[in-house]
Amino acid sequence: MNSQVLRLESLTFVSVLALGVLACSGEAPAPASEPTPVATVSTAPLLRQTLTETVIAYGTVIPAPGATQTVSVPFECRVRAVLVSPGQVVAAGDPLLEIEPSPDAREQIAQAKNALVAEEALSEATQQRYDLGLAIEDELSQRRQALEDARRRAETVSAWLGLKRPRSPARAIVGATPVSEGALVAAGQPLVELALEHRFEVRLGIEPEDSGTVDAGDVVRWAPLGRGTSVAARGTVRSVARQVSADTRLVDLLVVPTETSEGAPEALLLGEAVRGEIEVQSSTGLVVPRAALVVHGDRWLVYSVDQDRAVEHEVTLGVETDDQVEVLGGGLSAGDQVVVAGNTVLTDGMQVTVGASPAAPSGQGKGKDQSKSPAAGTP
């Protein structure tokens, strides 16, 4: 019994002594290793395709240069009746108003007729004097010229009496009727404004910062607002204003229609509101969804996935739309799987696991992203 107790005490002493030696040596048991971080991401294939950058603009259909005509008369008149309304289509020869010469105009007619009678008498007297040798050839010629002038003047003003219903010179759309019944209108003042039918163009307004990207000859796709896709049209930019409109604070573009879905610009309505997309540049290259971009300081990054590891690519941006961007450089190739979700936490070489990938955007973007800020966050 005593020997067993001695043995137990010896073992206890040895154990305590061993622990003391370890404590004095300063060595501690190795800690357990931390797990390697793994990011869950979604990917989309890198595509090679043509991307077109566009600028969105809104405007109206207006008459083309030279298509606006003003109907007026060369004498003061009183409007008896207005026969047309704005927006009405009139054929060549259709009456527009009923008018009559004013009292002053009638006085001019009477004066012209009296002047003609007086000039005829003077001309006859001069002829008699010439026959008697009392007048020279120059005097007779001057009197004959004065008689011809008086006759033309009398014929002109007498025709005023017959101009009771001014008519349209061609098939046109009535733009405005600035007079009312009973109004006294001065000679040469507009009675009716006409826009020749099928001679339209489109005036669009763009932001001043976009004016430097649009040039004459650029292609424009546009459609009237409120009519869905029933009428789609194309045209070319005729001119870009170099000033900001005081009314809209936008820069005006004038667009010449070339065709519509119905075959010709006659499908348009004067004054109709339209939405246009101006194609400012186009390029064929590697295209990623905008969500694939990550900004890091002044660098743009794209991450691809290779063997469950994130691979960092520094890229520069090419043509942009709302949802797609052309990327240049970075060693990327068509078909690479680029990260479109979860990329803001990635670093080069980080282990990843790929979840469900979002559907790739179909077609081209609808317009230019005006803000140049990245779609993805900043790591």
Q: What is the pLDDT of residues 214-232, one digit of tens each?
A: 989 888 988 888 776 555 7
| Domain covering 40-51+282-354, topology | 2.40.420
Cα–Cα distance measured from residue 261 to residue 48, given in angstroms and rounded to the nearest whole number: 30
The pLDDT value recorded for residue 223 is: 84
Give the helix ranges, DSSP H, for the chain.
2-25, 103-131, 137-158
Nearest Cα to 311, choosing from 341, 348, 345, 353? 348
Average pLDDT on 191-199 reads: 90
* 263 or 118, higher pLDDT: 118
What are 130-161's pLDDT values in tens digits? 888 888 999 989 999 999 999 999 999 999 98
Residue 16 pLDDT class (50, 70, 90 cuts): very low
Q: In Å, what is the CA distance from 249 to each residue of 121, 208, 216, 244, 245?
A: 67, 8, 21, 5, 5
pTM for the model stands at: 0.61
The pLDDT value recorded for residue 226 is: 75
Average pLDDT on 107-115 reads: 94
Find out whether 207 and 367 touch, Cβ atoms under 8 Å: no
Residue 208 pLDDT class (50, 70, 90 cuts): very high
Average pLDDT on 25-54 reads: 76
The pLDDT value recorded for residue 359 is: 52
Average pLDDT on 343-359 reads: 83
Residue 294 pLDDT class (50, 70, 90 cuts): very high
Residue 6 pLDDT class (50, 70, 90 cuts): very low
Most confident of 5-14, 23-32, 264-273: 264-273
What percent of the chain is predicted at pLDDT more than 70?
A: 81
The pLDDT value recorded for residue 336 is: 92
The pLDDT value recorded for residue 374 is: 40
The pLDDT value recorded for residue 164 is: 93
Q: At 66, which amino acid appears?
A: G
Whether pLDDT at 293 is above 90: yes
- Sequence spans of domains, the chain: 40-51+282-354, 56-65+201-280, 68-195
Residue 195 pLDDT class (50, 70, 90 cuts): very high
Whether pLDDT at 311 is above 60: yes
Residue 171 pLDDT class (50, 70, 90 cuts): very high
CA atoms within 13 A on the CB side of 340: 22
Hey, do 40-51+282-354 and 56-65+201-280 end up sharing a CATH topology, with the first three levels equal?
no
Class for domain 56-65+201-280, per CATH? mainly beta
Find out whether 153 and 173 touch, Cβ atoms under 8 Å: no
What are 66-100's pLDDT values in tens digits? 889 999 999 999 999 999 999 999 999 999 999 99
Mean pLDDT rounded to a whole number for the chain: 83
Residue 39 pLDDT class (50, 70, 90 cuts): confident
Whether pLDDT at 358 is above 80: no
Cα–Cα distance measured from residue 18 to residue 369, given in angstroms and rounded to the nearest whole number: 73
How many of the other CB atoms lie within 10 Å of CB of 376?
A: 20
Class for domain 68-195, per CATH? mainly beta
Cα–Cα distance measured from residue 350 to residue 35, given in angstroms and rounded to the nearest whole number: 13
Whether pLDDT at 362 is above 90: no
The pLDDT value recorded for residue 18 is: 46
